[in-house]
Each structure stands twice: as C-alpha cells, then as structure tokens.
Amino acid sequence: MKFVLVIPDGAADEPQSSLGGKTPLQGAVIPHMDAVAASGFIGQADHVPASMPSGSDVGTMSLFGYDPRKFHTGRAPLEAAAQGIELGPLDWCIRCNFVTVVDDKMVSFTAEQIPSTLARQLIETLQRDQCGNEHWKFFPGVSYRNLLVYRARNTPAPFGPTTMTTPPHDITEQLIAPYLPQGPGAELLRELMERSKSLLTACPANAERAATGSHTATQTWLWGQGQRPALTSFYERFGQRGAVITAVDLLRGLGRLLGWNVIEVEGATGYLDTDYAAKGKAAIQALKDDVTDFMVVHVEATDEASHEGKADEKVRALEQIDQHIVGPVHDYLRSQGDYRLLICPDHPTFLRTKTHSHGYVPFAMCGTGLVADRAVTYDEIAAAASSCRLDRGCELMPLLFQNAMSQSAVSSLSH
C-alpha cells in the first residue's frame, strides 16, 4: 500500500468579504480535493498546542505523528539538518532572517524576497565581522532564510528554554521594540541584530536594490533558536519508508531527521511562483519506486499568500495544488491498487492578521479500507460538521496508517 500526504501550508482560514463570505478553500475551485472528501471522510485536527507558538515547525511535527510538546526544541535546528549542519550536544542554532525595518516597524520579513546571491554576500559580510569569535558561525540558506550557530565549545551556552524570540512574519507593520529577544542570552542576540544594521548598510549591492524600487535588507532578525531534537525514525515508529518534496529547509531538515529521502524539484521556490506541476510529477515518479511507502508533498505558497494578505493569490494557489498535485497523484494511486491519500494543512494562517494562528485545520482522507462519510466538499465548514475531531493533531498520522502498519511499529506507537 502506498500513502500520500499533501500539505497546503497555512490553507485554513476565515470567511473573507472579498470572497463573498467564503473561506479560500470554499472560494477555490478544487474538484480533486472535494473528490477526496467525497470518497473518504473529513475531520478537524489541532496541530499546535496552545502552550506553543504557531508555526510550521510545531505544526508539521505534529502532522507527522510526533507530539511537539515532547520532541520540539526549536525551528532553526530543523533547518540546520536540511543543510547538513551538525550540532553538538551543547550547540544552539538560530534562524537569521534578512528583514526591512523602517521607522522601527517591520515592513518586510523577507527584505522583499531578497535574492539568494545577495543574501549569501551579506552572510559572508556578517561572518567576516565575527571571524575572531569562536562561538558564532553564520550559514547562508535560500533568500531571506539563513542560520546562525552558537558553537558551545564544551561550555554551557547562554541560551535556555526561557529565551524568547518572535518570528518576524508575526509582526508585519508593527513596531519591533516589544518583540526583541528576551531572557537568557537575549542581550547577545540583540547586540548582533544591532551590529548588522551598519554592516548591511555598507554593502553597495544591498543599497542598489533601493534604486529598483525594492526594499533593502536593513538588518538581521534572530529567532527560532533551539538544540538538535532527539527524534525516533519514522520507519521505526510507523513501519513506513518516507520521502518529502518541499522547497522549505524546515521540512527538508525534519524529513532528514526522520530518515526520509528528500527529493529536490527544479522550479520549487517556496513562494507563489513555485512549479506545482513539477512537484506533482516528481511525487508520482517517487511512488513508482520500491523504496517509498509514504510520500509527503508540501506547498508553501498558500502560507505566503496569507502572509501578504492576498486572498486572490491564496485561492489561486489552492487551485494550482488541486489541479497539478492532488488530481494527478490521486489518479495515479487509484490506478495502482491499494492506497491512502491525506490532505491537511499544518496550521491556520489568517489573511486578516497575515500570520500563523492556533486552531483546528480541516483534513480529508480517502483510500483502501476507509469508509466514506457524507461530506462532499473539503473546507473548514464541512470539516467542523464532522464527528471526527482530533484535539491532539499527532493522532492523525496513526489514523492514516491504521490497520496498515507492521506489528513492530504498532508496538512502538504504544510507547
């Protein structure tokens, strides 16, 4: 049996006046997602505990069947794993965004999607500035998404569980002062953020972006700190060999830590211009081999549309996911024999607030051995009417594999 999970990141939302009082899922033309709901069943799942910040690091960990209250240590360590950055037992990893702050307000948490070539140049500038420090090491990523590692060198790090930082995408158009790092080690982080301002201003290539009408990167924003998590492999836990398609380092890293194959797809950008069709084709190709039992296809575009407050783009992204990923993948699965297909976001991302939120997300599941309910559409309203409601989202993955897991995996689940 083959299993597929499609994650339209942040797809869950509220009714929109611009969509005639419908949510983006209701407003989008998504016949293939609706078909999954009609041939199977729908429900709600809450992937982000109220005690934790809402984000894909927490939400996807739960979605993959791991209780984030037990396993989550921070977002940055997952992205470090994606880049093959080894963390020692006392090391910490911190997410380093390039952002645009004007008049003390967060204008752009991406420095308007700063090009990776320029971002790498700026990271090199920051590292040169710290070349005499034995603890700090900057690592370039993709666009605004970069990392900073604190090498402990066998000494206790200054950070701890009570160190508090805020994702920059949560404070768009807000004053940054209330959201600067707090707690143990916060002074070090603030110092680095302040120091970055003059270093980035002095870079001619960064300043030249202003001439094109784009926002320049005015400083770094440090957040998402944590240590390497201790995760049981997915195969040991569920008895399935996994693979993931994503353009986001967070998902790549989590996949690698779980022992999955990370499939790179040309044209996958992690933004609204991603190549949806290429992702769908790559997923089908992976399902044809004998080493992939469980295929995850993650699409970030729906989340990005919410962060930018663009309802029309969110609808369009959902329609592209439906047409180029859910439809072709479901057709392939049905042609091959036994299968199960699950569609579920990791968390809600509201267009109104332009940020991640806590709350239930709708899921739809169909396939071999699953009994259909009365649902005919896939959306938040239909899911809320379902009797299937998972207060602990990490219980959804065992539900997908129910009666299809090896006895050893079932045993490990009980522990």
pLDDT of residue 207: 87
Q: How far apart are CA 5 and CA 287, in angstroms?
A: 12
> Is the confidence at residue 404, as pLDDT, over 90?
no
pLDDT at 408: 35
Nearest to 329 by CA among 27, 24, 33: 33
Please check whether residue 335 is in contact with residue 362, taking contact to mean a CB–CB distance below 8 angstroms.
no
Average pLDDT over residues 327-336: 97
Give me the percent of the chain exceeding a pLDDT of 70: 97
Residue 110: CB atoms within 10 A of its CB come to: 21
pTM value? 0.84
Structure tokens at 202: 């002095």
Residue-level pLDDT at 209: 87
Confidence tier at 26 by pLDDT (50, 70, 90): very high
Question: What tokens appear for 115 in the block?
Answer: 């090009």
- Whole-number pLDDT of residue 106: 96
Average pLDDT over residues 301-316: 96
CA 9 centroid distance within chain? 7
Q: What is the pLDDT of residues 255-279, one digit of tens each?
A: 999 999 999 999 999 889 999 999 9
Question: Is 151's pLDDT higher than 90?
Answer: yes
pLDDT beyond 80 at 140? yes
For residues 234 and 258, the answer to whether their CB atoms sit within 8 Å is yes
Q: Over the stretch 42-96, which tens digit does the pLDDT of each residue have?
A: 999 999 999 998 999 999 999 999 999 999 999 999 999 989 999 999 999 999 9
Q: Above 60 in pLDDT, residue 412?
A: no
pLDDT at 211: 79
The pLDDT, as a whole number, for residue 405 is: 52
DSSP symbol at 311:
H
CA–CA separation, 6 and 287 (whole Å): 14
Instruction: Say yes or no to pLDDT of 351 above 50.
Output: yes
What is the band of 214 on the pLDDT scale with cuts at 50, 70, 90? confident
Crossing angle (nearest 10°) for helices 276-287 and 327-336: 10
Which residues, other chains included, contact 140 with Cβ-Cβ below 8 Å and sequence gap of 6+? 116, 119, 120, 123, 124, 146
* Confidence bin at 414 (pLDDT 50/70/90): very low
CA-wise closest residue to 205 among 144, 122, 111, 269: 122
Burial 32-52 (b: 16+ CB within 10 A, else e): bbbbbbbbbbbbbbbbbbeeb
What structural domains does the chain harbor?
Answer: 2-71+232-413 (3.40.720.10), 82-226 (no CATH)
Amino acid at 248: V
Average pLDDT across the chain, whole number: 94
Residue 409 has pLDDT above 80, yes or no: no
Q: How far is CA 41 from CA 230, 277, 400, in A?
A: 33, 26, 11
The pLDDT of 330-353, averaged and rounded, is: 97
Q: Is pLDDT of 406 > 60?
A: no
> d(Cα 202, Cα 16) in Å, to the nearest integer?
43
| Tens of pLDDT, residues 141-150 | 889 999 999 9
* Cβ atoms of residues 61 and 351 within 8 Å: no
C-alpha span between 238 and 401 (Å, rounded): 8
Answer yes or no: are the C-beta atoms of 7 and 326 closer than 8 Å: no
**Average pLDDT for 294-311:** 96
